[in-house]
Structure 1
Amino acid sequence: MPAAAGPVAGPATPVQAVPAARRRRAPRAPFLLLVVGLLCGGLVSLLLLNAVLAKDYFRASELRKDINELRLAREQKESVNMRLEMPGVLARNDENQGQQPDWDTARVIIPGASSGEVAGDTRAPAGRERVPGPAGE
């Protein structure tokens, strides 16, 4: 009978020698050091960025606080100024300084007139009219 057709084993071929440098694996230590170094560098840069942003945040909050204090001081000064400009306070201050209202030369606003008229003996400001009496006759 004829032999089965199949691969025929020939004489043993010698295994080619692979150079020693190719056979060894690449060292892992430099790669691990590179990865660890990159991670540490990223962590440090994130911490520095966070510190800078926190510093700016604290500075901004201090500025907001200063602005609020200045606004409050301005409002208090405006309030004091408005109280000092009230008619009663002005009249008291004028009296304390020896000033008296001059009703004889006061300006009276008359509706329909072009400008104020000077009040004389015949005309006085509203509420300050002269009333004839025993002392004024």
Structure 2
Amino acid sequence: MPQKHRPEPARSAPVDAKATPVVASAPRPGRAPRAPFVLLVVGLLCGGLVSLLLLNTVLARDSFELSKLRAENNKYRVQKEEMEHDNRQFEMPGAVADKAGKQGQSPDWETSNILTPGHPNSRVASDGQTLAGQEPVPGTGR
């Protein structure tokens, strides 16, 4: 460590009656101590490091929770798809006929209603209906 240069104190001249007295100048102030500043900087760095570690821990915990919730959502999605598949199977004509037969119901083949054009009791299936989302316009026939 280099040595600091300190000014030598002012020396008084021999006392002379005619000479004005020489006043010694005040010594220059020394450097401020470095230890408090170094401790402050180290403390701030340590505080920042600890807060960064805590933030990282919180984010990691949220990440684990997010992956757990995604897995749960996938499980419920698969369960929903299986239930939709089962419902489609139950709505198929063969399954409906089998269930009806188990309940003692049977098709009535003797009283069939055959729709024929021009017959007073028959009509086209789409008569009086409009397309989905379209309102009929009065007076236009549409």
> What's the TM-score, normalizing by structure 2?
0.62
Separation in 1 of the partners of 2:113 and 2:58? 66
Separation in 2 of the partners of 1:92 and 1:86? 10
Task: Look up the match of 2:95.
Answer: 89
Separation in 1 of the partners of 2:61 and 2:26? 64
How much has 1:69 moved relative to structure 2? Answer: 0.8
Residues 45-56 of structure 1 mapped to structure 2, 5 A cutoff: 45-56=51-62
Separation in 2 of the partners of 1:69 and 1:111? 53
Task: Look up the match of 2:77.
Answer: 71
Q: Deviations over 1:100-128 (max 9, x none)?
A: 11123344344674157xxxxxxxxxxxx
Residues 1-137 of structure 1 mapped to structure 2, 5 A cutoff: 16-18=25-27, 22-23=29-30, 25-110=31-116, 113-115=122-124
One-letter amino acid of the structure 2 residue matched with residue 80 of structure 1: D
One-letter amino acid of the structure 2 residue matched with residue 108 of structure 1: I
One-letter amino acid of the structure 1 residue matched with residue 45 of structure 2: L
Structure 2: segments with no counterpart, 5+ residues: 1-12, 14-21, 126-142
Separation in 1 of the partners of 2:117 and 2:65? 59
The 1:110–1:62 alpha-carbon spacing in structure 2 relative to 1, beyond 3 Å, is: farther
Structure 1: segments with no counterpart, 5+ residues: 1-11, 117-137
The 1:54–1:93 alpha-carbon spacing in structure 2 relative to 1, beyond 3 Å, is: same
Q: Which has the higher contact order (CA 8 A, sep 6+)?
A: 1
How much has 1:38 moved relative to structure 2? Answer: 0.3
How much has 1:27 moved relative to structure 2? Answer: 1.2
Q: Which has the higher helix share?
A: 1
How much has 1:14 moved relative to structure 2? Answer: 8.3
Provide the aligned length of Structure 1 versus Structure 2: 103
> How much identity, in percent, do the aligned residues show?
53
